Structure 1
Amino acid sequence: MTEADRPHMTLQDVARHAGVSLATASRVLNGTAQVRPDLKERVLAAAGELAYTPNAHAQALASSSSKVIGVICHDVSDPYFASVARGVMRAAADRDLMVMLASTFRDPAREIEYIAMLRAQRARAILLIGSGFEDRDWERSMDNVLEPYRRAGGRVAVVSRHRSLKVDTVLPQNREGAEALARTLLDLGHRDFAVLTGPRELTTVTDRFGGFSAAVTAAGLALPPDRVVEAAFTRDGGYAAATELIRRGPLPTCVFAVTDVMAIGALAAFRDHGVDVPADVSLAGFDDIPIVRDLTPPLTTVALPLDLMGERVMELAVRDLTSNRSRVERMPGEVIVRASTGPPRAHDRIPSPTPVARRS
């Protein structure tokens, strides 16, 4: 049966299938009001199973008549996502397309809800900018909401690893970049490391932490559990993680934060506790967001071509399809050594962190 031959499912069909009122189904699919999470999940699942597309949206998608590109990221205030989104918008402007941008704040349910809304808005393509989740239930829900959209002619492309989605992908080499960074730090003489990580259910965190720890292990070294501190994937999370690392003591000679924004928070925590970077502890991040070059000291990191990643995912989403096979474009990172890292401190210079007054 072709898409055109499928019976057109109505909002009433979705409501009946989900076991909710017509008003509740409408609120969920149109995003006009807050709905209980369990009811929202039932409605979205029913819409996916029935391949429900509001009004005549399928025909609009198939004919590529829409000028709207939906971009869903974790947090547009994060410079990583802002840089990627800038590349998307530049490429969209070149094609006379309009971008609708939404932040999920790393809420998997909100991500699925926004996809349903973009379907209702007849978006020509949906771009997912950011890590996937190591969560089977989330993967099934994503499949349920994306598959009918794709069958109707909508295009999906992603940045970063999404294990279950067989779509066009721009794939930053997170694991490989973290391995290269660890080897660079080992070459500087470091043997005592700590890692500040984000939530482990994020694939980006899993890949970067896995690559770094694999390189450390390959060098015959250990990364004990008390040297790994998990916190929010934010500046404040980095501050909290570094503060916890200081509390545990003694400090390692080198700290790797799995994202630059966490490293920025860690640098502030070290400063506030009287720990000198890099004299007392070296610090490295990942991404090379613009601000890290202007820190004191500038941050060692793994540089990703963030703007280019945005441009390429946009180009993949609007490319002419010659086959049904998805394309994966790998984006390597480059280790950039700056003043935040140096050789390990001398053994007789173990720091004793003490809070210091902030300067302004």
Structure 2
Amino acid sequence: MPSVTLSDVAREAGVSLATASRAINGSANRTVRPELQERVLAAAARLGYSPDANAQAMARGRTATLGLIVHDIADPYFSSIAAGVTAAAEAEGLMVTLASTGHQPEKELAFVEVLQSQRARAIVIAGGRQDDDEVNSRLRAALSVYQARGGTVALIGQPIFEVHTVAIDNIGGSAELARALHGIGYREFAILSGPRRHLTGAERTEGFLTALAELDIQVPAERVVESAFTRDGGYQAMTELLRRTGARAQPQMAVFAVNDVMAMGAMAATRDAGLAVGVDVPIAGFDDIVTLRDVTPGLSTVAVPLLEAGRSATAMALSAVTGEPVVERLGGEVVLRDSTPAV
């Protein structure tokens, strides 16, 4: 039996094909009188007509999807944000299309272009920005085009684009952590800083160093180690720090890894070197990712409300707010655990 077409519905309802399309698929700029829409929908029901999702998206100008772009979905930081985005999107009747860049900025740009071609209603981008004018300019231009064509955007990271942004207080949180560690007796420190051009790592390093300087403590340059912003990066940075410091126990020196997954890598490297975390080498992180519940000893960190960040960014992306972009700043709370016992 041949499938029912939109033309069949239009003929059954006694309206034009264009009117039938607008009644069923919607329209970005034209409406149908209620009595005509009821007639068309009744005809569609009698004939058993099923509308085409792509046709509806074309007619309305946008699909019922929200695009979420993250740096690494395997990182619990981003999976927690994704949970917040998904919950907020589903509450609005939207589906989430997820893309993970693997920390490659060019993929981020490509995903924005794909989501634009798919007519996603909104895009949320989560992750710290790079100190790279060329990369930022290209992404800024792509987002401007997407917005000019009716899409809306929100970012979780640094507010360097003309879009709504949820900004984590990286500087304030790391400064509070430095002061808290100083408060329980630490006077020597090292930092696993992440890549030099990663703005989140740079901000957290800056906040930590600035707070220590205010306490009249300087961190030697050889104790600030760069690496990838990942678990393996933390492992490699800690291995290098132990090499520089003689691979020996230093219970008076607190090591700050600028995110929790790096801290977990650092803890593994410490154990592999035959040292005990929290006894021979105190370690702290930043984010309070959910997997820390299963880490021993418990990791001292700065707890960031990641689910709230995801929900807030989604609300921003779906809002009808016009004018100047809104920046919402989220602070963190220092949580001291057994990985940094009092000295």
- Same fold, TM-score > 0.5, yes or no: yes
Mapped to 2, the partners of 1:256 and 1:313 lie a distance apart of 28
Give the CA deviation at 1:275.
1.4
Which residue in 2 is equivalent to 1:174? Answer: 170
Give the CA deviation at 1:143.
2.1
Which residue in 2 is equivalent to 1:117? Answer: 114
Q: Is the 8 A contact 1:68 1:99 kept in 2?
A: yes
Mapped to 2, the partners of 1:143 and 1:343 lie a distance apart of 46
Q: Is the 8 A contact 1:133 1:162 kept in 2?
A: no
The percent of aligned pairs where both chains have the same amino acid is 45
Amino acid in structure 2 at the alignment position of 1:295: V
Mapped to 1, the partners of 2:235 and 2:139 lie a distance apart of 33
Mapped to 2, the partners of 1:140 and 1:310 lie a distance apart of 25
* 3-state SS of paired residue (1:137): helix
2:185 to 179, 184, 189: 189
Q: What are the ranges of 5 or more consecutive residues in structure 2 without an aligned counterpart? A: 1-53
Q: Is the 8 A contact 2:159 2:327 kept in 1?
A: no
Q: Is the 8 A contact 2:62 2:120 kept in 1?
A: no
Q: TM-score, normalised by structure 1?
A: 0.76
Which residue in 2 is equivalent to 1:338? Answer: 337
Give the CA deviation at 1:214.
0.5
1:157 to 154, 158, 183: 154
Deviation string 1:265-323 (CA, Å, 9 cap, x unpaired) is 111111111212212221100000012132110000000011111111001111122x3
Distance 1:235 1:303, change over 3 A: same
Mapped to 2, the partners of 1:219 and 1:64 lie a distance apart of 56
For the pair 1:214 / 2:210, whether they are aligned, the reply is: yes
Which residue in 2 is equivalent to 1:288? Answer: 288
* 3-state SS of paired residue (1:280): coil
Mapped to 2, the partners of 1:311 and 1:233 lie a distance apart of 24
* 3-state SS of paired residue (1:299): coil
Give the CA deviation at 1:172.
1.0
Which residue in 2 is equivalent to 1:313? Answer: 313
Give the CA deviation at 1:145.
1.2
Q: Is the 8 A contact 1:72 1:104 kept in 2?
A: yes
Amino acid in structure 2 at the alignment position of 1:301: T
Give the CA deviation at 1:61.
8.9
Q: TM-score, normalised by structure 2?
A: 0.80
Equivalence map 1:133-152=2 (5 Å):
133-152=130-149
Larger Rg: 2
2:105 to 103, 108, 133: 108
Mapped to 2, the partners of 1:82 and 1:90 lie a distance apart of 12
Equivalence map 1:186-265=2 (5 Å):
186-250=182-246, 251=250, 253-265=253-265
Amino acid in structure 2 at the alignment position of 1:334: E
Deviation string 1:191-225 (CA, Å, 9 cap, x unpaired) is 11000121121111111111001111111111111
Mapped to 1, the partners of 2:277 and 2:264 lie a distance apart of 12
Task: Say what the alpha-carbon RMSD is for the aligned residues.
Answer: 1.8
Deviation string 1:46-90 (CA, Å, 9 cap, x unpaired) is xxxxxxxxxxx9x96995642111111100000000000010001
Q: Which contiguous aligned blocks of 4+ residues in structure 1 show a shift greater than 2 angstroms? A: 59-65
For the pair 1:80 / 2:81, whether they are aligned, the reply is: no
Mapped to 2, the partners of 1:303 and 1:193 lie a distance apart of 20
* 3-state SS of paired residue (1:133): coil
Mapped to 2, the partners of 1:95 and 1:291 lie a distance apart of 29
Which residue in 1 is equivalent to 2:86? Answer: 89
Q: Is the 8 A contact 2:62 2:119 kept in 1?
A: no
Q: Is the 8 A contact 1:72 1:129 kept in 2?
A: yes
* 3-state SS of paired residue (1:101): strand
Mapped to 2, the partners of 1:241 and 1:65 lie a distance apart of 45
Alignment size in residue pairs: 285
Mapped to 2, the partners of 1:177 and 1:61 lie a distance apart of 45
* 3-state SS of paired residue (2:222): helix
Mapped to 2, the partners of 1:300 and 1:61 lie a distance apart of 50
Deviation string 1:84-113 (CA, Å, 9 cap, x unpaired) is 001000111111101111111111111111
Which residue in 2 is equivalent to 1:327? Answer: 326
Which residue in 2 is equivalent to 1:44? Answer: none
Give the CA deviation at 1:330.
1.0
Mapped to 1, the partners of 2:113 and 2:272 lie a distance apart of 45
Q: Is the 8 A contact 1:253 1:280 kept in 2?
A: no
Mapped to 1, the partners of 2:60 and 2:131 lie a distance apart of 35
Q: Is the 8 A contact 2:169 2:329 kept in 1?
A: yes
Q: Is the 8 A contact 1:300 1:337 kept in 2?
A: yes
